[in-house]
Structure formats: structure tokens, C-alpha cells
Chain A
Amino acid sequence: MNRLAELLDRLSFEPSRNNKLRLMTDYFRSTPDPERGYALAALTGALAFQHAKPGLIRALISERVDPTLFYMSYDYVGDLSETVALLWPEPAKDEAGVGHNRPPLALSEVVTTLATSGKLHLPSILARWLDQLDEIGRWALLKLITGSLRVGVSARLAKTAVGDLGGKEPNEIEEVWHGLAPPYIDLFAWVEGREARPEATDPAPFRPPMLAHPIEEPDLAALNPEDFSAEWKWDGIRMQVVAGHDANGKRVLRMFSRTGEENTHAFPDLAEALAHLPAQDFAIDGELLILREGRVQPFSVLQQRLNRKTVSAKHLADFPAYVRAYDLLSLNGEDLRPLAFRDRRKRLEAFVAAANEPRLDLSPLVHFKTWEELAAARADPASAGAEADAAAVEGVMLKRVDSIYVPGRPKGPWYKWKRDPFNVDAVMMYAQRGHGKRSSFYSDYTFGVWRDGESGDELVPVGKAYSGITDEELARLDRYVRNHTINRFGPVREVEYNSDKGLVLEIAFEGINWSSRHKSGIALRFPRINRIRWDKPPKDADRIGVLEALLKEREPA
């Protein structure tokens, strides 16, 4: 537990992905089974503890610490688990067995004990553990059991770190992952080359998806349009739907996100519909969309259905989920991935037709002979077949007709040609220091556009951008911020901005939504700096009306 606690502590402060990987790989290499396996489960979110609630932790500390001192401490620290971890009184040595024969607390003991103990015994068990640990250990334990471990590590990154132990790609780990359970002894044995690959016994396993490289118009000239098939790039979320049968012949249907996280429970309406398809076993690759009266809704509508712990009946009715299929990876025990795209597409068309299920439809092909024709379709999807769904199209996908389905992002077979981004000229208002390599640079910029204020024009912030610029531009912007600071708020600086003085940034963004969380009522998607307009006076920057008009245009009719 101590080693894991130190790992979690360090991860929580480390901003760089590669350095996080190294910290985790170093831990997995130097920690024995089964401890590292349970740690992997913790990092991938595979551990869940039912009964450890904040109220219990509060009760434990109130028995041990003066309430005024607790209140002052909590007020200062601001986080309950952390406050309790720091406040927990050190037990007298012989009471806790510290420094005696008892081995240090292991995560495996925590996991197995919590799995078998009832709610009644939890307070005394937890208190005994807290007595044995130091500040960092207590913090890690409390964060783990309350399920609020936030150390900036995705399940995918943790699996990548395991793969790095033995030169395995993360996709190879994903292939076997869903058949495994903590503490993953067989997984580590295989990665370290000591044993054979674990048998995938999962009746409905996740298959790591194939991803596309971005492409721009000039690059198309080198490609032959006859080699490619095109379809719309839908602005939903990537979804894999897998059906199979378990050892008892019971049907299993699962839905996975792009990263292999199962989200079946979030879409019971869709799962219910797809569980009754005539085909026995299958794996569909497609896009999760919300449709109303046959029309695809923009991403902002889908967002309201995502990230909910429970889905109410009203939500199911207001946000009906659909899957728009674009690939078929397996059918009735046959792995279709080695087939060419054109052959998989034929199988997919037949599959969708046979299914005859309203919640499942086919992503239509976009027909074209030349790149110019495709460019025209991309510029105006509504006239090129997408019709009323055009607002949910965010570009076109290009797939080589002879391409087999390869997990990961191979260079060549698939491309995404995104719709041109939107642009707005905005004025820099605040700048914040970045992290990691950029920690000495003011690299995150809040920008605003003009609106009518009580006393004339005023700037209202509409977003924050921290990418899109070269290192030289970053150095120049950093200097600009330092030389034009008018206020400091901790790591944030306010820069000079008014109609005559200030810096205009041309911001590119992918989409725009209404937002109640932003002062302007508007949120931009993926904003980044397209150009720095050193030449442009701030008074010529855009007004909020430009963005509002864009929003209304994209509003579903």
C-alpha cells in the first residue's frame, strides 16, 4: 500500500503522459503479484467499494479530533479525505503493531477484506488500517475506497504501462483484457514472457478500434479517388456493440467506448433493442447518435445524455439513442477483420437489412468520382445526401476499399477529412502559466469578444486556448503577457485590453454550444489559436452576435 500510495501521489502531480507511463511501468516492474495487479485494477477503475461513504469517514475523525480543530483544518485543506489523512492521530506504537511483526498493509488485503466484510465492521477495519499508514498512505486509501481517485491516468494509459513491461502494444492488452480479472496474474506472466497469452474466454469481447489519420486537401492529390470509399463523419461518439453467448448459452450484449470502457448500462434502450437481433453473435463498429423524428441531433444534445450515473425514463424518452453502423468486425463466430473494407461493407449492408431494427441503421456512402466532387460534398453535406442531418456531419471519412481492419492508427488506409473549422477574432484577456515543460510560460489564454455593456462596449470571455502555436510564437506571447500585465491573481495574469490596446487572436474551433456555465452563455469546442493578429486593433475583433448567429444556424429545426 505504501509503494502504491507513493505512485498515486507522484502521478497526481505529474502532468506529462510519458512520465506518468514511466512512473507506472517502474512500479509494475518492482512490485510483486498480486499487489501490482490490484493496483492495476485501481488505476483502470475495476475496483468498486460499496459502503465507504464520506459520512463514515467524517464519523471516524469526529471520534478522534476536537471538532473545532477539525473544522479549522477542513476549512484550510478543502478536501475531506485529505484533511482526514493529515489529521489522523498517530497511534501509540504498540497499539497499532507498527514496528512489530505485522507486515505492512497491502492493497490485496484491503480488496479482499472489503469484499467479504459487511457494512457493520467497516468503521473498525478502516480505523485499524488508517492507524497503520502514513499521511500519503491514508490519503491514497481514502481516495481509493471512496472511488474518487483522480490522478490523471486513463485505463488505456495504465494498460499501456503494463504493455511497456514486455514490449506489448496497448491493443494487444485490450484484446485479452475483458477476459481477465484482478489481480491479473496471468496478464503479467504473459507480458513478462513467462507464460502463454491468456485465453480470451469473454463471450462478448472488446476489439480495439481502427482509427483514421487527419488529412488536408493538398495531400489528396497524391491519392487515387478510385481506391477510396467515402462516408460522412458523424459528430457522435464511437461505439462498439458486441453480442455473444456465455458458457450457459445465455445471450450477452455489451457496448464499449473507443477506449474499451463498457457503457452498456448508460444506454439500456439501445441495448434492449439490439439484444433481439436475429444474428447470434456479432460485433458492430459504429457511431452513437441521438435521433428525433428520424433526424440526427447535434453533439450538444447527445452530451446531455452522457455522463449520467442513472438514466431516467424521461431521459430515455427525450434522448433516444441509436447506432449508425459503419463496420462489421465479426459475425456468428467468423472474424471479418481480415476481409477488405468493400467485402466487410457488403456483409454489413446485408446484416443491417436483415436486422430490420429501427435503432440500427447504416452510415450511407458518399458517392464521388473526383476529389473535387468530394470537396463539394464536404462543403455542403445537405445537398450531397446528408439532407436534414447535415448539422451533425463534421466532415468525411475516407477508407481504402481494400483495407483490412487493423487496430490502432495505421498510416494509409483510413483518413478523416474534417469540415473546415470556424474562426472568430477575439481579444486576449487573461493568461495562465502552463504545466510541465510550459510551467514558466504564460501559455493558456482566455479570450473574449465584444458585446453591449452598461457603459458601452465590453469584452465577455468566450473560451480558453492553449494550442495551435509554435514554440517561437509561444515565447513571443509569453513576453507580451509579461509586458502587458495589469493584474495578478495567483498563477493568472490579466492583460491590458480595451478598444485601442490589446492583442487579437484568431481562434479556430470545431463547434459551438449554448452553455449555462459560461458568462457569455456560449461554449466553443476545441478552440485553438489559428493566427496571432499582431496587426489588428482590438476594436475590430468580432462581436458576440457573430457567434450567436452561428449557433442559431446550427440549431435543429
Chain B
Amino acid sequence: MRGSDLLKTTPAGLYCAAGNFHIDPLRPVKRALITHGHSDHARAGHDSVLATHETLAIMAARCGAEFAGTTQTAAYGERISIDGLTVSFHPAGHVLGSAQICIESKGLRVVISGDYKTMRDPTCAPFELVPCDVFISEATFGLPVFRHPDAAHEIARLIDSCRLFPERAHLVGAYSLGKAQRIMALVREAGWERPIYIHGTMEKLTRLYESEGIDLGEIVRVTGPERPKLGGEIVICPPSALQELWSRRFHEPVPAFASGWMRVRARARQRGVELPLVISDHADWDELCETVLATGCSELWVTHGEEDALVHWATGQGLAARPLHLIGYGEEEVEDLEPEKPAGEAGPALI
């Protein structure tokens, strides 16, 4: 038995014929196993979905309770039989409820990482190393220039800037699922006791995190008239809101963006970011390399991201490595920003 007997790539994504299921399928399928709740991995319309309790809750919050025909909860570590295969979900450390999916068949063990990180994150279960024969990894930050610093250091820079510019609101662009709540938790750990303000589109998922027992302190949804008065405060919003009409009502705001992409200056400049915060929910280059080696795998498949460099490195390490060229992942930044029309501004062009 080889990995390629168990899994193949199809237009809908990774497919396991023996179990007749897809993993993170890009289009509606009969049976879907979902690693985590980001919209590029978790889509609505499947007949049945198997995922962690948190991922199912996130999908319901984003797509409505009717997002799938039937759902089944997978507890971390629980061994589930599907048509003679054994499937288990293990924490991926990416966002709340994120999982790696392990498939075992006739002594062969394949782990699909989904998106993951091994760095500490107070808002989700830590990454669990699952030894395997075939490791299927993401490579969003698969270049050696990407090494994420300690997130606490980046948060200290944010707080320092709030002190230096007490009249300017600090708008932190962050993905609504995961990054936003991680920033909130890190800001609390740094001793920030004032309310943290959020863009309206973040409220639902933030409340969901709180209902899962994650303490984020006082979180306040920003209302229109308040915006000019939030000097020196931290306001978290979807990245696209930084350049949209919404940001205009703040007094001379500092546009910040929390993302691994901020490591590269040109990326930050292109987006008009003035305070780039290098905080990522994806493994950086060192984490990718360490994790691949630690799994003890003999074969590495790379799903999406900067796969060429990681494949080049892994080949040099004596692994059989190949890119899968899956298209459609890694777009978690294209988010569902609810159009908001302030009075007197006819703006149809909200992205």
C-alpha cells in the first residue's frame, strides 16, 4: 500500500476512494472531512460533514445551521472507522477546532496537516505531532525568509505605538476567524485592560470563541458615532476594511495588519500598512522543516503555498517530496466583509 493508493487529487480536492470521502473539498460532495473553519477549507453544501465540534459550530455560524445534510462530530484523538479505514482528528494549532486528519489503512499512516502552526496560541489546542509515513503539509510560508518572531514582541510594538500616538485609533487588520481572537488574547496577556473594539463582521465568531470558554476580556463592537473618539484604542477589523470607507471616520488612524506576509516590506507597503505586525497562524519555514522531520515521514506532499522551496529542501533531506498544486486554498484573506453604507455615502464599491 502506498500513499497514492489511498489518496488522489481531484478537481474537488483531495479524495480517498477507499473511504469515499473528500478532505476540505472545494465543491459540494457526498462526504467531506473538514480540517478547520476558514472559508477556503470549510464550504457549505456537502451531504455529510465530519469535523470537530468547534469546526461544526464555526461552519454553522458562518453558513447557517443548514450548511450540510448531516454532521458528525470527531473528538480529538477519537478513532473513527470509515469503510474499513481508521480516521482520527488531532489538534493542528491553527485556529479554534483546527485538526490534522490521520488516515490509517493496512499499516500505512497518512497525515493531512490542514493549516497548522506549532507556536503557542492561547485560543486553541496546541499542535500535536502525529508520526506518519506520508505527511501532507501546507506551505503558505514555505520560504526561508519567513520566520515569525515571538508574537508577544509584536503585540508590545502595538501597545507601544498606542502610547506614543494616544490620539490615533490603531486599526489592526486581522482575519475574522482565529487571528482576531488570538490578537485579543495576546493583548490581554500583555496587560491591556481597556475594552478592545471590533468591526461588526467579527462579532459572531468572537462571541463563539467566548462561548467555547475563551476569555477575551471586554470586547465592544464599534458603532458609527464612536469612531472619531477612539484615539489610542485598539480596533480589530478585517484586513479589507483598512482601505475602505469604514476606516475613514477614525481620526488619523494607524493602519496595522497582523499577518505573516508583513515580514516582507513590499507586501506591507502595497497595502498601505503603517504598522506591520508579523503574527501568523501558519507554520513558518523553521516550523515546517522541523515538523516534517519530526513526523518521521518518508514521503512529503505539499498542498498549497510556496511549495517549490519546501519540496527542494525536503528532497535534499532524502525525502520523496512532491507538490500537489492544489488550487483554491490559501485565500482566507478574501473574507466576507458585510457591506456597510454610512449615511450620505453612496458607495457600491465595497469589496
Q: Which residues of A contact B (CB under 8 A)?
A: 6, 10, 12-16, 19, 22-23, 26, 65-66, 68-69, 72-73, 76-79, 82-83, 86-87, 90, 134-135, 433, 435-437, 439-441, 479, 482-483, 485, 490-491
Contact = CB atoms under 8 A, between A and B. Distances in A.
B80 interface: no
Nearest to B273: A13
Contact of A23 (B147, B149, B157, B164): B164
18 contacts: A12-B265, A13-B274, A13-B276, A23-B164, A66-B312, A73-B144, A77-B264, A87-B145, A90-B147, A135-B263, A433-B243, A439-B247, A440-B242, A440-B247, A440-B248, A479-B347, A483-B349, A485-B349
Given A13-B274, A79-B265, A479-B346, A26 B144 contact: no
B185 interface: no
A13 B278 CA distance: 14
A13 B269 contact: yes
A65 B145 contact: no
B275 A76 contact: no
B270 A69 contact: no
Interface in B131-189: 143-147, 149, 157, 161, 164-165
Contacts of A436: 252, 274
Nearest to A13: B274
Interface string B246-290: 011000100100000001111011101111100000000000000
Given A76-B264, A437-B252, A440-B245, A19 B165 contact: yes
B275 to A, nearest CB: 7
Contacts of A439: 242-243, 247, 255, 272
B318 interface: no
B348 interface: yes
B302 to A, nearest CB: 14
Contacts of B272: 433, 435, 439, 491
Given A79-B265, A440-B245, A135 B147 contact: yes
B293 interface: no
Contacts of B40: none
Interface in B296-351: 306, 308-309, 312-313, 316, 345-349
A99 B101 CA distance: 39
A69 B157 contact: no
Nearest 3 Cβ contacts at the A-B interface? A482-B349, A86-B145, A439-B272
B200 to A, nearest CB: 17
B195 to A, nearest CB: 24
A55 to B, nearest CB: 21
Contacts of A68: 309, 312
Given A14-B274, A86-B146, A482-B348, 12 more contacts: A16-B252, A22-B165, A69-B143, A69-B309, A73-B309, A76-B145, A83-B145, A90-B147, A135-B149, A437-B252, A439-B242, A490-B270
Nearest to B349: A482
Contact of A15 (B143, B244, B274, B276): B274
A134 B252 contact: no
B309 A72 contact: yes
Contacts of A14: 274
Contacts of A69: 143-144, 309, 312-313
Interface string B207-222: 0000000000000000
Contact of A22 (B164, B265, B275, B316): B164
Interface string B35-76: 000000000000000000000000000000000000000000
Contacts of B312: 66, 68-69, 72
Contact of A78 (B146, B149, B266): B266
A133 to B, nearest CB: 12
Nearest to A76: B143
Nearest to A485: B349
A19 B161 CA distance: 11
Contacts of B263: 86, 135
B159 to A, nearest CB: 14
Contacts of B248: 440-441
Contacts of A66: 312-313, 316
Contacts of A482: 347-349
B116 to A, nearest CB: 22
Contacts of A441: 248
A90 B157 CA distance: 22
Nearest to B309: A72
A76 B263 CA distance: 12
Contacts of A15: 274
A65 B164 CA distance: 39
Nearest to B266: A78
A97 to B, nearest CB: 20
Nearest to B161: A10
A77 B348 CA distance: 35
Contact of A82 (B149, B255, B264, B274): B264
B158 to A, nearest CB: 12
Contacts of B273: 13
Given A22-B165, A77-B266, A82-B265, A65 B144 contact: yes
- Chain A CB within 10 Å, residue with most, of B252, B263, B264: B264
A49 B283 CA distance: 38
